[in-house]
Structure 1
Amino acid sequence: MIRTTFFATALCLFAPVLHAEVVGKVGVDWFGNDIIIESINDPKVQGVTCHLAYFERGIIDRLQQGNWFEDPSNSSIACTQTGPITMGDIKRGKGGEEVFRESQSIILKSIRVTRVYDEKAQTLIYLAHGSEVSKGSAKTSISAIPLYQAK
């Protein structure tokens, strides 16, 4: 019991602060698998909201398939202007800046949202991608917001 409590506390201390709100949960089968939809406000760009959808395995699927502590890192993203856009101090390099991260396993896998600024096209690009410690992931989805009159 003490080890479990210590482990849970340690995970909470090192977990990133999440800026997401679950706005939808769609059941996809009788195994309890769901698609979760979260709303994410960009903390450095006011007026932009992204919606991230990802798969969450149910308990029956976990028992049947194994990998008890993992969800697939598949995701989809759509971002939209939800008010006047005001850009804060964002990273403008080609590598972009992580906006959001959510774990899909205890340690090794997560879904991330990275913002990339295309200065020439005056566009913010939001990339949802899986990240694994042991190998990369080709599972990606993007959404773009034009900055016609952003401050």
Structure 2
Amino acid sequence: MKLLPLKFAAVAVFSAFSACSLTAQAENIGSVDTAFKLIGPDHKVVIEAYDDPKVNGVTCYISRAKTGGISGGLGLAEDKSDASIACRQVGPISFTGPLKQQDEVFNQSLSILFKKLRIVRMVDQKRNALVYLTYSDKLIEGSPKNSVTAVPVDRSTPIPIK
């Protein structure tokens, strides 16, 4: 019976470590305050950039809510599930290798336990486009919030598929 709290503590520490290591992939572009908090940081909407690791020349911009206050400042708050995505061509598009038809490109923890923001890349071969979906999941909830965007690739550059 005494091991159960230790398991939860281990999961919390692992989740916090994972959040730190996964957040390193995101580049913070900026933020705006949405609600003043007397103690701790304000609630915010943050903008982060993610470069697709397998597609040179494509960057995804995510806007999402970040909880402030004491719990937010300590990294213990659960951020809201709402997020928006816009992926754009920011340079010549090239591929590091063949792409899977569907592949999770990034994920970032939004709470100390279980909830993650995910970005999935899908290939639309017919239109020679890359489709990016962002959604957040939570172990006990269905119907995740989501947002989608697409980046057309010039027909002279076919998208290599595995």
What band does the TM-score fall into relative to the shorter chain?
0.7 to 0.9
The alpha-carbon distance between structure 1 residues 34 and 117, as it changes in their structure 2 partners (threshold 3 A), is same
Query: How far off is 1:60 after superposition?
Result: 5.9
Of 1, 12, 16, 2:17 maps to 12
Deviation at 1:19, TM superposition (A): 1.7
1:136 positional shift: 2.5
**Equivalents in 2 of 1:142, 1:13: separation in Å?**
25
Tell me the secondary structure at the aligned position of residue 28 of structure 1.
strand
Out of 88, 91, 96, the residue aligned to residue 80 of structure 1 is: 88
Which of 137, 150, 157 does residue 150 from structure 1 map onto?
157
Aligned residues: 141
Tell me the distance in 2 between the aligned counterparts of 1:30 and 1:61: 14
- Equivalent position of 1:128 in the other structure: 134
Q: Is residue 46 from structure 1 mapped to residue 51 from structure 2 by the alignment?
A: no
Displacement after TM superposition at 1:11 (Å): 4.0
What's the C-alpha RMSD, in Å, of the aligned pairs?
2.7
Task: Output the amino acid matched with 1:132.
Answer: K
Percent of pairs identical after alignment? 34
Distance in 2 between the 1:138 and 1:109 partners?
11
Mark the CA change 1:137 to 1:147 in structure 2 (over 3 Å): closer, same or farther.
same
Please report how far the alpha carbon of residue 20 of structure 1 lies from its aligned counterpart in structure 2 after TM superposition: 1.0
Aligned to 2:3: none
1:131 positional shift: 1.1
SS in 2 for 1:142: strand
Tell me, in whole angstroms, the C-alpha distance in 1 between the residues paired with 2:136 and 2:13.
23
Structure 2 vs 1, CA of residues 133 and 15 (structure 1 numbering), >3 Å: closer, same or farther?
Answer: farther
Equivalent pair of 1:87/1:150 in contact (CA under 8 Å): no
Q: Could you say what secondary structure the match of 2:35 adopts?
A: coil
1:56 corresponding residue in structure 2:
66
Question: Cα distance 1:131–1:10, how it changes in 2: closer, same or farther (>3 A)?
Answer: closer
Gaps of 5+ in 2: 1-5
Which position in structure 2 is the counterpart of 1:65?
A: none
TM-score, reference length from structure 2: 0.75
Matches within 5 A, 1:99-138: 99-138=105-144
Q: Contact 1:108/1:133 (CA < 8 Å) preserved in 2?
A: yes
Structure 1 residue runs of 5 or longer lacking an equivalent are 63-67
Q: Which moved more, 1:141-150 or 1:112-121?
A: 141-150
Classify 1:11/1:30 alpha carbon distance in 2 versus 1 (closer, same or farther; 3 Å): closer
Q: Hey, what's the Cα distance between the residues in 2 that align with 1:91 and 1:133? A: 25
- Partner Cα distance (1:110, 1:73) in 2: 9
